[in-house]
Amino acid sequence: MANKILKQKALEMRAKQMSYSQIKEQLGISKSTLSEWLRNVPLSKERINELRANNESRIEKFRNTMLAKQQVKRDVAYSLVSRDIGKMNKREIFLAGFFLYWAEGGKTKNTTVVLTNTNPVMLKFYLRWLELLKVPKDKIRINLHLYSDMDIKEGVKYWSKILGISESQFRKPYIKKSLFSAITYKNGLGTVRAVLFMKINRFVTMY
């Protein structure tokens, strides 16, 4: 009987365009129960937009809190895995580099060895692998894929510093029509295409 009365009150409040949070605050009913009771009583688009506008700062705070929690979880996982793996020796780097290239590298019949990625850590490991294979750094060329709203000089400067590659080894960037500002997940500034213009087997030394 009590539930029927509460449900009726919830329906009346919903009819007045009240949100789940507002109804929950007054009636003390869980959102899961309200979702069941009110699933056929949606809010108008105007009211939804109004609630979104009013809750913008709260939503942003919630998002930032969740991102911070996720980062803590990633940091803990990284710490545990780093501890378990320890420092990689040359042979392990040698093998890991081949698996990386197998998965992410360009597979062509010409004399170029290519890896394209947006992740600075991945690219730095790839360069470390080439170094292990005794590839001269001056043989590497960098092609950047940048977005139309990005500063080209800043992009080259950024990646030159991150990768430890001279700006003179950067070729003319490819400019995408899309906007960097519209990308939700950013892992660097644009995409890097690291190219070695030689046959890799010329440098390979087995460990």
Q: In the structure, what pLDDT confidence band is assigned to residue 199 with cuts at 50, 70 and 90?
A: very low
Write the pLDDT tens digit of every residue in 77-121.
888 878 887 788 888 888 988 888 888 887 666 657 788 888 888
| pLDDT, the chain, mean | 77
Cα angle value 151/157/161 (rounded, 5°): 145
Is the pLDDT at 57 greater than 70? The verdict is: no
pLDDT at position 88, please? 84
Residue type, 44: S
Query: Could you tell me the pTM of the whole model?
Result: 0.54
Q: In the structure, what pLDDT confidence band is assigned to residue 18 with cuts at 50, 70 and 90?
A: confident
pLDDT at position 205, please? 45
Q: In the structure, what pLDDT confidence band is assigned to residue 204 with cuts at 50, 70 and 90?
A: very low
Residue 89, SS3 per DSSP: coil
Write the pLDDT tens digit of every residue in 137-196.
888 888 888 877 778 888 888 888 888 888 898 888 888 777 766 554 455 555 666 665
Write the pLDDT tens digit of every residue in 58-79.
655 666 677 788 888 888 888 8
Q: In the structure, what pLDDT confidence band is assigned to residue 202 with cuts at 50, 70 and 90?
A: very low
Instruction: Give me the numbers of helices (H) and strands (E) for the chain, helices first please.
Output: 8, 5
Closest CA to 120 of 74, 165, 176: 165
Please return the burial class of 156, using the count of CB atoms within 10 Å of its CB with bins 0-12, 13-18 and 19+.
buried
- Return the percentage of the chain with pLDDT > 70, whole number: 76
- Domain ranges in the chain? 2-54, 90-202
Is the pLDDT at 49 greater than 50? The verdict is: yes
Q: State the SS3 of 122-140.
A: HHHHHHHHHHHCCCCHHHE
pLDDT at position 61, please? 65
The architecture in CATH of the region 90-202 reads 2-Layer Sandwich (3.30)
